[in-house]
């Protein structure tokens, strides 16, 4: 009887180890899918909305989908409304480097094919993204975006939050400026919510028309 009990216990132990190892191997193969990031800014110029989606295909983890949508509704008619949306298929060249191909939409330019590189460095309290992009239409343009987030821990419930996000777009053939911005954020993180102060410095067209926005922002992560 003791011999049978020993054999049974060994079998149960072996099956449990095999199950745990298989589960771990499957988890290691699962693609990394960051949450959707949604942000709203209410400021002096108007209301600004941003949605960022960065997901991987579960069955093809090297392939993914990346999308950014920005929209600003101004309080006054003199200040122009602004909208931009882009959608890309991404392919992982390495852990931190992706190549992308897709489309981008601006009201003044319509839909345009684009391709880019995206470098990402991520730690629990730091995120760095570099995204040089080329518009491959006949009158092609270039955009270069960089973003740095720093979110150190304050205590068990709260983290400090800061972000610098900048973009510069121009036409390489003529060197003319077409779109640029500088976004600054500082605030407090509680669970999946972030609240704080926001500043947007926007420039439009070859004349670099200034449209700035100062106010409060709230963002949330959607899992």
Read off the pTM: 0.81
Summarize the confidence of residues 155-181 as an average pLDDT.
Answer: 93
pLDDT digits (tens, 9 = 90+) for 93-139: 999 999 999 999 988 778 889 999 999 999 999 999 999 999 887 67
pLDDT (0 to 100) of residue 92 = 96
Share of residues in the chain with pLDDT > 70 (%): 85
User: Between 223 and 21, whose confidence is greater?
Assistant: 223
Upper half-sphere CA count for residue 170 (Cβ side, 13 Å): 10
Instruction: Please check whether residue 163 is in contact with residue 145, taking contact to mean a CB–CB distance below 8 angstroms.
Output: no
For residue 11, pLDDT over 70 is answered with no
Whether the per-residue pLDDT at 1 is higher than 60: the answer is no
Average pLDDT, the chain: 86
Determine the pLDDT at residue 77. Answer: 78
Tell me the per-residue pLDDT of 182-221, one tens digit each, with 9 for 90 and over: 999 999 999 999 999 999 999 988 999 999 999 999 999 9
For residue 110, the model assigns a pLDDT of 83
φ, ψ dihedrals at 38, nearest 5°:
-125, 130
């Amino acid at each position: 009887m003791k011999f049978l009990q020993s054999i049974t216990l060994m079998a149960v132990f072996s099956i449990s180890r095999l199950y745990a190892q298989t589960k771990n191997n499957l988890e290691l193969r699962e693609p990394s899918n960051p949450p959707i990031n949604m942000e709203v800014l209410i400021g002096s110029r108007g209301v600004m909305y941003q949605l960022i989606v960065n997901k991987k295909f579960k069955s093809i983890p090297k392939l993914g989908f990346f999308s950014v949508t920005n929209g600003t509704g101004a309080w006054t008619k003199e200040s122009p409304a602004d909208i931009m949306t882009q959608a890309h298929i991404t392919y992982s060249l390495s852990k931190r480097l992706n190549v992308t191909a897709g489309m981008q939409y601006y009201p003044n330019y319509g839909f345009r094919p684009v391709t880019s590189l995206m470098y990402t460095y991520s730690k629990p309290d730091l995120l760095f993204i570099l995204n040089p992009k080329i518009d491959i239409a006949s009158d092609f343009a270039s955009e270069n975006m960089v973003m740095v987030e720093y979110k150190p821990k304050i205590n068990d419930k709260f983290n400090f939050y800061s972000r610098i996000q900048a973009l510069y777009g121009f036409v390489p053939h003529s060197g003319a400026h077409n779109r640029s911005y500088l976004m600054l954020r500082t605030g407090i993180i509680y669970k999946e919510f972030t609240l704080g102060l926001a500043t947007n410095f926007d420039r439009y067209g070859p004349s670099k028309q200034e449209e700035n926005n100062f106010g409060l922002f709230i963002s949330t992560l959607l899992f």
